[in-house]
Structure 1
Amino acid sequence: MTRWQIGWRYAVLLFTVLSLWVYARIDGGNVASLLVYVMGGLTIYWTLFLIWPVTQAIATREVSNKMLVAGTDIPVSLKVRRKFPFLVGSVEVKEVVPAELSEEQLDIRHPLRAHYRKIEHIEYLIPSIRRGLYQIPGCVIEIRDPFGLFMRKKLYPVETYLAVEPARLAVQLPHEDDRGDGGISPVSLDLRQSSFTVVGVREYVSGDRMNQIDWKATAKRQGLMTKTFEREQERETTIVFDEGTVSDDDFERSISMLAAATDQLNKRRLNYRIHLVGHGVQSLSLPLEGAKLTHYLMTAQPSRTRSFIESWEYSSKALRLNGNVLFITPDLESNNEIWISKVRQEATVHVYTPERRGDQ
C-alpha cells in the first residue's frame, strides 16, 4: 500500500467521523451518538497504527555455505522477531528474490503469528537455481490492521550474496592412445605436458627400470644397456571455447562441458590456456588465472556478433595454436569446420558439442 493510498483512505475516514458527528448533533439520538463514539475510537486506533513503529523487527537469513550448483535447490532459513507490541491483524513476510535466480516463478510469502518479541523461523527452498551471481537484497514485512483497512510494510536489507556455478556435464577427455573424433582429429591426442625421445644407450646402473633396458643393444654388447632419453619440445594444451550467438540450453550445456573439462585438466595438474571466443578473444592461463575462469563460468553470456572464424581472425592474428586443442562449441557451424581444418595443420583438434562429448 502506497502513501497516497494510505492518505486518501485516512482522509475518507476523517470525513466519515466528521459526518457522523454532524449527524449526531442534528439527530441527538443514542444510536447516532454511539456511532460517533465507535468511529472515534477506531479512528484513534488507526491513527496509532499508522504512527506506531509496528513494522520494526529484527531479521536474519541463513543459506547453505556449500558450493551452489545450477539445477539444484537452495535451502533457506529466515528468522524474524518483532520489536514493539501492538494489536495487529496479520503479519506476513515476503522475500525479495531475483526472478532470474530460479527457473520457476518465485512468490515467497509466509504468514507469521502476530506475537510480540517471539522469534519466527521460516524454512523454504528456492528450486532449480540458475548459474550466475545474485544478491537477495532483503525481506519485506507487511502488517495489516484487524479490519484490513490499512497495511504497512518495510524492507529490511538482509543482504545475501549467492555464487552459483554451472553444473558439470560429463565429458571424456581423450587419452594418449585415443585416436580421432569421427574424422576431425585422426591423430592421437596427447594431454601430457611433454614427451621423451630415445637418443642412445649407456651401461646399466643399479636402480634403472627394467622397461628402460635396450635388449637389442644388450644382446650385441653382451651386457645390460639402458636407454637414454631427451625431452622433446613442450606440447601445449589449449581449450578454445566458442560462446555462440544465442543464450539457450545448448549454450548452458557448453558452459557445463567447459567447467568439466577444466576440472579434469586441473586434477591432472596441467598448465593450459583457454581462448574464449565471443565478440573478441579473451585468453586465460590456467591454473594461474583460475579466479577469472570461475567468474566467467558463472557470468558468461553469448557475445559473438559475427561468425566464429571472423571473430578469431579479427582478434587473434598473433595467436598460434600448436599441440593439443580442445574445441568446445554449442553449435558446430560450417565455418567452424573451416577453422578446424586450418588449425589441424599445426595442432591436434578434438571437438566437443552438446551432442558429442567425447568417446563414450
Structure 2
Amino acid sequence: MKPMIRKIVRELQLLLLLGILFVFAMFQGGFVSWFLFYSMLPIIFYMLFIPFYPIHHWKIDRKVSDRYLETGGNIEVTITIRRKSPFPMFYLVLEEVLPETLQFQDVGKKKYQYLSDRQSYNRKRHVKKVIYPGFQKEFTIHYRIEHLPRGKHHLSDINLRIGDPFGFVECKYLFSAAKEFFVYPAIQDLKWKQQSMSLEEGTTSSHIHDEKLTNVVSGVREYIPGDRFSWIDWKTTARKNTVMTKEFEQEKDSSIVVILDVGGLQQSQRLVFEAVVEWTASILQSLRKKDQSISFYTFGKSERFFSNQQLQFQFPAVQNYLSTVKQEQVSLAERMVTPMKELSRGSVILFVIHHLDELLVERLSNWKKQDYTLVVCYVIPEKQLDAKEEQYIRSLRLKNISVQTVTEKQLMQEQWEVQASR
C-alpha cells in the first residue's frame, strides 16, 4: 500500500510542476517561457509514465559458467533480459543479495593460516550492476563470484530498477531466476605414509605404500624394463644365461574404513570443519587412485554410508555429499557405543575428527579391543593443542592407536601427508 501511495504522491508532484510551468508561461509570456514549458513537457510525461511501466513483463534468464566446481574457484554469471517494446531507459540497476552459503571466501590453503579465527573465512557479498540499455530490446549483464566456498549454492531473486535521469521517480520489480551449482571440497595431493601391517593380514593387496616391499623374496622371473639393478638375481642369471630378477611377496592388508566426524556444532569452528572435509576428500581420492578397498561413513543424526563400489565407480555422488555435509548437534562418541556390524575383523579404521574428549578416547579404546587397527587424524589449531589435548593423544597412543595431529603447519604444506604415529 505504501509504495502505491508514494507513486501517487510523486505523480501529483510532477503534475504540479507541469502546472506551475504552464502558469508561468501564460503570465510571463515570451519565447523563453514557452520554450521552457515545451522542452520540459516530454521529460515530465516520460517521468509520469515510468512508475507504471510494465517491467514485470520482462523475460529474465540466468546462466552460470559451470555447475560443478572446486573450492576457491570462480564462476561467471550471465543474466539476459528480454523485453517486447524499445521503451527508452536511461539506466538499469541490477541488485542481488547472494545466499548465506556464499557469504564466505575460500582462498585455498592460505585460509588455513587463520585456522582458529572464526571471522577470517567470512565475506559479505552483494552484487550491484548499472547499465545503460537505451532502446535495446535484449541485453545482458555479467558478473563474477570469486573464491567460492564449499557447498550447494542457490542463486534465486534478482531486483531490477529503472528510473528517470534525475532520480525523481523509479520502477522496480523482483524477478525469480533460480539456478544452483555445487562447489566440491578441493582434492589436495596427499602422500600416504602409514606403516604396513602384517603380511598375512587381510585378503586384498596393499596399495597404500609408496615403496615396494623388497625384503621377502617369493620367486624369480625374467627381467622386465624398469626393474631395479639391485633386484637382479645373479646366481639364477648365471645358471640360466638370461637376466633374471627377484619377485617379491606383495603385502596384504584389510579394507580401509574412513569415518568423518560431523558433530560438534556447539563448538563450531567453520574453518576447522572445512579442513576436516577437505582432508577426508583427499584421503578418499588418494586411496581410490591406488585401487584400495575402502568404505566411507559419517555419524550424524543419521548414518551415511558409501560402499567401496560407490567410491570407485560413483565418486561424484560422494563429492556431492561432501559438498553439502554440515556440522550437526551430535557427538561422535555417543554414536560409537558399539562397533558397526558391517566392519570385518582386522579392518583399518581411519577417523578424521576435530574434537577429542575423555568419552571419545574411551570409545576408541573399546573399538581397538575388537581387533580393529585404528588411525586418528585430529585437525586442531596449534594454539588449542594444550596439555589436556596432549594427554588425550598420549592416552590413545598408549593403547596402540595411531594419532596424527593436523595443524596449520600440516595444512599449509605443498603436499599433505597421512603419517600417523603411535
Question: Is 2:29 the partner of 1:5?
Answer: no
Rounded to whole Å, the distance in 2 between the matches of 1:72 and 1:136 is 17
**Aligned pairs (5 A) from 1:160-175:** 160-174=179-193
The question of whether the paired residues in 1 share the 8 Å contact of 2:260 and 2:297 is answered with yes
- The SS at the match of 1:108 is strand
Kindly tell me: are residues 190 and 30 of structure 1, through their superposed partners in 2, closer, same or farther at Cα, counting changes over 3 Å?
farther
What is the deviation of 1:252?
1.0
1:53 — aligned with what?
Answer: 54
Kindly tell me: are residues 166 and 292 of structure 1, through their superposed partners in 2, closer, same or farther at Cα, counting changes over 3 Å?
same
1:310 — aligned with what?
Answer: 334
1:324 — aligned with what?
Answer: 348
Rounded to whole Å, the distance in 2 between the matches of 1:23 and 1:156 is 38
Rounded to whole Å, the distance in 1 between the matches of 2:418 and 2:66 is 33
Rounded to whole Å, the distance in 1 between the matches of 2:200 and 2:220 is 31
What is the deviation of 1:299?
1.1
Kindly tell me: are residues 130 and 331 of structure 1, through their superposed partners in 2, closer, same or farther at Cα, counting changes over 3 Å?
same
Residues 219-276 of structure 1, C-alpha deviation per residue, up to 9 Å, x if partnerless? xxxxxxxx9x9x98x8322112211313421111000011111111222233322221
Residues 14-63 of structure 1, C-alpha deviation per residue, up to 9 Å, x if partnerless? 377469869989x9962599799898866643342233335654544442
Rounded to whole Å, the distance in 2 between the matches of 1:331 and 1:268 is 29
**Aligned pairs (5 A) from 1:73-92:** 73-92=74-93
Structure 2 stretches lacking a partner, 5+ long: 105-122, 207-218, 225-230, 236-246, 380-404, 407-416
2:129 — aligned with what?
Answer: 110
2:167 — aligned with what?
Answer: 148
Percentage identity across aligned positions? 20
- The SS at the match of 2:204 is coil
The question of whether the paired residues in 2 share the 8 Å contact of 1:138 and 1:156 is answered with yes
What is the deviation of 1:148?
1.6
Kindly tell me: are residues 190 and 292 of structure 1, through their superposed partners in 2, closer, same or farther at Cα, counting changes over 3 Å?
farther
Question: Is 2:378 the partner of 1:353?
Answer: yes
- The SS at the match of 2:320 is helix
**Aligned pairs (5 A) from 1:1-360:** 4-11=2-9, 13-14=11-12, 17=15, 30-31=27-28, 44-53=45-54, 57-65=58-66, 67-103=68-104, 104-117=123-136, 120-174=139-193, 178=195, 194=204, 235-246=254-265, 247=268, 248-288=270-310, 290=315, 292-306=317-331, 308-313=332-337, 318-320=341-343, 322-345=346-369, 346-354=371-379, 355-356=405-406, 358-359=418-419
Rounded to whole Å, the distance in 2 between the matches of 1:205 and 1:264 is 31
Kindly tell me: are residues 173 and 340 of structure 1, through their superposed partners in 2, closer, same or farther at Cα, counting changes over 3 Å?
farther
Structure 1 stretches lacking a partner, 5+ long: 180-186, 197-203, 216-226
- The SS at the match of 2:283 is helix
Root mean square deviation, CA, Å: 4.6
- The SS at the match of 1:116 is coil
Rounded to whole Å, the distance in 2 between the matches of 1:91 and 1:206 is 77
From the CA coordinates, give the structure whose radius of gyration is larger: 1
Rounded to whole Å, the distance in 1 between the matches of 2:141 and 2:81 is 8
What is the deviation of 1:300?
0.9
- The SS at the match of 1:100 is helix
Q: Which amino acid aligns with 1:77?
A: T
2:107 — aligned with what?
Answer: none
The question of whether the paired residues in 1 share the 8 Å contact of 2:185 and 2:319 is answered with no
- The SS at the match of 1:313 is coil
Rounded to whole Å, the distance in 1 between the matches of 2:183 and 2:203 is 32
Query: Normalization by structure 2: what TM-score?
Result: 0.62
Query: Normalization by structure 1: what TM-score?
Result: 0.72
The question of whether the paired residues in 2 share the 8 Å contact of 1:189 and 1:324 is answered with no
What is the deviation of 1:106?
1.6
Q: Which amino acid aligns with 1:352?
A: C
Q: Which amino acid aligns with 1:154?
A: Y
